[in-house]
Structure 1
Amino acid sequence: MFREIPGGTFRMGLSDAELSALRALDEADASDNSLECFFAGAARMRPVREVRVEPFLIARHPLTVAQIRHWLPEYEDEYAESDGTVARVTDDDLDALVEALPFRLPSEAEWEYAARAGTTTFTFRGNEIPDEDEILDVFADEKRVAASENAFGLAATGCANELCADVWTPHYENAPSDARPRTGDGLRVVRGGGADVSPWQGCDEWLLLLSAFRSAYDMFTAIRPVASLPVVGGR
């Protein structure tokens, strides 16, 4: 099921306000779990810039094992608990799946714009540390999927490690002001992954849920496909 995302302009990246709020949380934390390692790598989510995004369609949630088998009938997933859970695609199947899909991968800008859904906070829920129970095993039943939707109707954004079309670049310097992906050779960008490191070990894995969080593709990834809106009137 796809959701239609309206076009618009947003501020992409980890903002000064988000950084300040994170530092406040860090200073208030009485444990030894400092966020200094995160702050040291924050440059890869900056500088913040204004990006224009055209309307597009994006899947309500990442593809499940059953959905991937529609295009790759022999697909097996060692990470999935059932056919109805989100697929974690590895190198062995990734290229074949991307080639077989009649859809495309989202650009990094499209992904963040859709995940934020008009918000400017850590996640669409606000600037609080998310409750682990809210994001883990979200596909256990439809009620939990619906409860995880943001204002654009997208479920579980940030929970799975989702692949984008962009090639990994460790910053936003010279990035385009529209939502085109940055192309080239190398690893692709992934977004999210908060549920992929379950159970949390108290090492601030919740930071993976941040709308601005980004990293390079590593071991496995989920796929949330995107499609262009039909052209009205044949133009």
Structure 2
Amino acid sequence: MGLSDAELDAVRAIDATDGPGGADDDLGAFFGDTERARPVREVRVEPFLIARHPLTVAQVRHWLPEYEDDFAESDHTAARLQDEVDDLLAALPFRLPSEAEWEYAARAGTTGLTFRGDGKPDEEEILDDFADEARTAAAENAFGLAAMGSSNEVCADVWIPHFTGAPADARPRTGEGPRTVRGGAGDLSPWQGCDEWLLLLSATRAEFDLFTAVRPVVPVPAAPDGALPGAGT
């Protein structure tokens, strides 16, 4: 878990390829904040179930019937909650992923910048509206999860600007203050050439500020004999 030296080298290679004067010429802010996603560490993640995509506006209204979304273009769009986050979490029969669970899900067994590898992502990789099943399926990673990194997604962890002292068993870090969010490249679409693609990186993390999507998690139900059903899947 975390932003590795190899991933940093991959970003440097992309920056060099863009060349002087390119739209993404200055990555100084990104490199200045790399300690937010370091040190790289090994984390044990127990089995869990996570939603295929963030909750849509229509899904949020199942629990919050009066919910209105100024950012959504349709009921099939990922809901971007502001002051309603705590109300939704109180109503949901689910929980938020820990940061470790979210990153494990985003990477889907890969170790590159995104689940697609170390190449520079483009705006075609972001997804917000899930009405088009074919496009949603095309945006899935190896775990069958769509649009990881597209929306700003809130995690259970309180925001701490590094991983120093973080637990090794994927528990969320708790305490006072704002939560941590992951992703957000789609929230800035259409891109203005200000390095928005960096928000698609599996390791990119930030402090919850204005609005967020929710991708709920539940534990894997135990079989009657205590064994996990579908072991190996």
TM range (shorter): over 0.9
In structure 2, give the amino acid aligned to 1:98. Answer: L
Return the match for 2:115 from 102, 121, 124: 124
> What SS class does the counterpart of residue 187 from structure 2 fall into?
coil
What's the offset of the Cα at 1:151?
0.3
Q: What is the number of residues matched between the two proteins?
A: 223
What's the offset of the Cα at 1:80?
0.4
Partner of 1:36: 28
| Cα offsets for 1:106-126 (capped at 9, x unmatched) | 000000000000000000011
Partner of 1:17: 6
In structure 1, give the amino acid aligned to 2:183. Answer: G
What's the offset of the Cα at 1:233?
2.4
Deviates more, 1:181-190 or 1:19-28: 19-28
Return the match for 1:106 from 92, 97, 109: 97
Return the match for 1:194 from 174, 177, 185: 185
Which portions of structure 1, spanning 4 or more consecutive aligned residues, are displaced by more than 4 angstroms? none
State the distance in 1 between where 2:128 and 2:224 align: 43
In structure 2, give the amino acid aligned to 1:148. Answer: A
Partner of 1:82: 74
Contact kept? 2:127, 2:147, Cα under 8 Å: no
Partner of 1:214: 205
State the distance in 2 between where 1:85 and 1:234 align: 40
Contact kept? 1:138, 1:156, Cα under 8 Å: no
State the distance in 2 between where 1:122 and 1:108 align: 16
> What SS class does the counterpart of residue 121 from structure 1 fall into?
coil
Contact kept? 1:61, 1:154, Cα under 8 Å: yes
Partner of 2:217: 226
Contact kept? 1:162, 1:221, Cα under 8 Å: yes
Q: TM-score, normalised by structure 2?
A: 0.93
Partner of 1:205: 196
Choose between structure 1 and 2: higher strand proportion: 1
> What SS class does the counterpart of residue 199 from structure 2 fall into?
helix
What's the offset of the Cα at 1:167?
0.2
What's the offset of the Cα at 1:26?
1.4
Contact kept? 2:157, 2:172, Cα under 8 Å: yes
Partner of 1:68: 60
In structure 1, give the amino acid aligned to 2:6. Answer: A
| Cα offsets for 1:7-30 (capped at 9, x unmatched) | xxxxx0000100011112212222
State the distance in 2 between where 1:97 and 1:141 align: 26
What's the offset of the Cα at 1:133?
2.1
State the distance in 2 between where 1:103 and 1:136 align: 23
What's the offset of the Cα at 1:157?
0.2
Q: TM-score, normalised by structure 1?
A: 0.92
> What SS class does the counterpart of residue 60 from structure 2 fall into?
helix
State the distance in 2 between where 1:214 and 1:124 align: 16
Is 1:50 the equivalent of 2:39? no
CA RMSD, aligned part only? 1.1
> What SS class does the counterpart of residue 186 from structure 2 fall into?
coil
Contact kept? 1:138, 1:148, Cα under 8 Å: no
Quote the sequence identity (%). 70
Deviates more, 1:74-83 or 1:135-144: 135-144
State the distance in 1 between where 2:77 and 2:225 align: 38
